[in-house]
Structure 1
Amino acid sequence: MKKVHYTNSYLLSPQHRISVNLIGAGGTGSQVLETLARIDSALFKLGHPGLFVTTFDADEVSESNIGRQLFSPADIGLNKSVCLTTRTNRFFGLDWEAVSEMYSGRSKTANITITCVDNVKSRIAVHKHLKAAKGIADIYETPLYWLDFGNTQNTGQVILGTIGKVKQPTKTEFSTQATLPTICDLFDLTQINEEDSGPSCSLADALKKQDLLINSTLAQLGSSLLWKLFREGRIEHHGVFLNLSTFKTNPILVGA
């Protein structure tokens, strides 16, 4: 029987906007922030309170970011999270927040955490922080889902996991899955030997590490998964593997 995961009921009918932490505002994060604003606009038109997004990034815009990330030459030297959030707020009429430092154990948790980071250490730290905060009393800061984006030069993956169990309906035609494994549940990240992912001096150098459209393609796939979580109230897939060289995508089935 096909397995599905039903969305946490709080996300579908909250009393206030759903809190979202977007960690990383670079190649993928800059693309994801734009799609989050579009999702917020659509949800609001459907009678939902929408989203409140806080973006975290300590980096400044450099010349090598122009073209692959959503920055212009006029943005060089500005903090990435402040630059993108200010632009998004003005364009969509929002009041989202920017934090010009990286997410840490002192940061407030949110209902949905989205990681667009380029190293294993950050993912492991986020995982520990979310697990420690899952019993928090304030529903606005209660972590419910973690959506992680990761990529190499031409491949990548998006994985949506739950922080603890999500209550599922007792009467349904499908077999239900209360928990969705996170990136840290599916893979032992401590065994990954990362290559240098430091700053690039030019766009040409940056493209040797990540292809021009890998980030935007992943951003669309992951944001579509998040949209289904809200719009349809259930999902049959909780992630996807992408190979941009062969134009192949392999969905990750719920319960697989």
Structure 2
Amino acid sequence: MDFYLPESLLNKPINIALIGAGGSGSQIATELFQMDSLLRSLSNGVVYLNLTIYDGDKVSLFNVGRQGFYLGDVGNFKAEVLTNRFNMFGQTQWQCRKEYFNPKNVASLANFDFLITAVDKAKFRVDLGEAFEAVKNTKSNLLWIDVGNGRNDGQLVLGHAFSAKNGQLKLPNIYDLYGSMLKNIDESAEDEPSCSTQQALEKQDFGVNRAVSAQATQLIWQLLRYGKISHHGSFIDVLLGTVQPLKIDPNQWAIYGYQTTPMES
């Protein structure tokens, strides 16, 4: 089964919100910058990316090397560093929000076309998923891509953020498929920040962010360049060198306890 790019997103600038500018987020922003250049060239400037980055964190010494930052960035806001870098050297007019996004403000995301969350906190995913579920009667077709990482593996899921509509099939998002599991995750041991590069790498090895980010941005590229995708997520293991796609298949979704519902008219 294929999912097709909504007609409302054809031949127009694409508005993307990126929440989290750390390991995966900084890599995703870099790849979106490259994608923006290609889309401008292919469309004679009609299609391009407008990115807004949300992150209230500052660059630390131990982010250098593991994330998309340099020694000269230490002490500055991650979101601001990235947007200034790309705006200075490209044709972009991207924006930053030097704050942690509050899931209670999901209504403010309705005007975006894509939301990418790169925050490795299960509670944040749950709060965001519940907030999306609570919004009724929105006309937004917002597509939510969530990325997450382990030490040597990661996953991403693309789905509709808000409730379904227009008589079409809703793509389940990360909360739709894994909400119950996310609610049972104990993150108390993960809350302490890493105080050395060695300790940080023990939590997440080199290259994991890049592998997951590449799969996430590839979904956006396939939709914008070719108009459709045949899978809406991936499971990546860098040690085994494997990428397992999450097919657009109601039977596969049923394994996770998600029952498909037609989109509301």
Q: TM-score with structure 1 length normalisation? A: 0.87
Counterpart of 1:90 in structure 2 is 88
Match of 1:186?
177
Distance 1:225 1:166, change over 3 A: farther
Contact conserved, 1:5 with 1:234, CA < 8 A, in 2?
yes
SS in 1 for 2:51: strand
Deviations 1:210-245 (CA, angstroms, capped at 9, x unpaired): 011100111111111111011111111101001111
Higher helix proportion? 2
Any conservation in 2 of the 1:8–1:166 contact (CA below 8 Å)?
A: no
Question: Which residue of structure 2 aligns with residue 249 of structure 1?
Answer: 243
SS at 1:42 equivalent: helix
Structure 2 Cα separation of the partners of residues 165 and 103 of structure 1: 24
The 5-angstrom pairing of residues 69-108 of structure 1 reads 69-104=67-102, 105-106=104-105, 108=108
Q: What percent identity do the matched residue pairs reach?
A: 36
Q: Which residue of 2 aligns with 1:171?
A: none
Q: Which residue of 1 aligns with 2:126?
A: 124
1:148 pairs, out of 132, 146, 161, with: 146
Change (3 A) 1:134 1:90: farther
SS of corresponding position for 2:232:
strand
Query: Per-residue CA shift, 1:24-76, capped at 9, x if unaligned?
Result: 00000000001111222222222243221110001110011010101111111
In structure 2, distance between residues paired with 1:207 and 1:227: 30
TM-score (norm 2): 0.85
1:113 pairs, out of 111, 115, 125, with 115
User: CA-atom RMSD, angstroms?
Assistant: 1.8
Task: Give yes or no for the alignment of 1:34 onto 2:34.
Answer: no
Q: 2:227 aligns with which of 222, 226, 233?
A: 233
Question: Cα deviations across residues 122-166 of structure 1 (Å, max 9, x unaligned)?
Answer: 1122223334456446xxxx3520000001100110111113447
Summarize the Cα distance change of 1:91–1:131 in structure 2 as closer, same or farther, 3 Å threshold: farther
Matches of 1:167 and 1:9 in 2, distance apart?
Answer: 12
Ranked by relative contact order (alpha carbons within 8 Å, sequence separation 6 or more), the top structure is 1
Gaps of 5+ in 2: 253-265
The aligned counterpart of 2:60 is: 62
In 1, Cα distance between equivalents of 2:133 and 2:123? 16
Which amino acid in 2 is paired with 1:26? G
Structure 1 unaligned spans of 5+: 169-176
Q: CA 1:143 to 1:55, structure 2 compared with 1: closer, same or farther past 3 Å? A: farther
Partner of 1:173: none
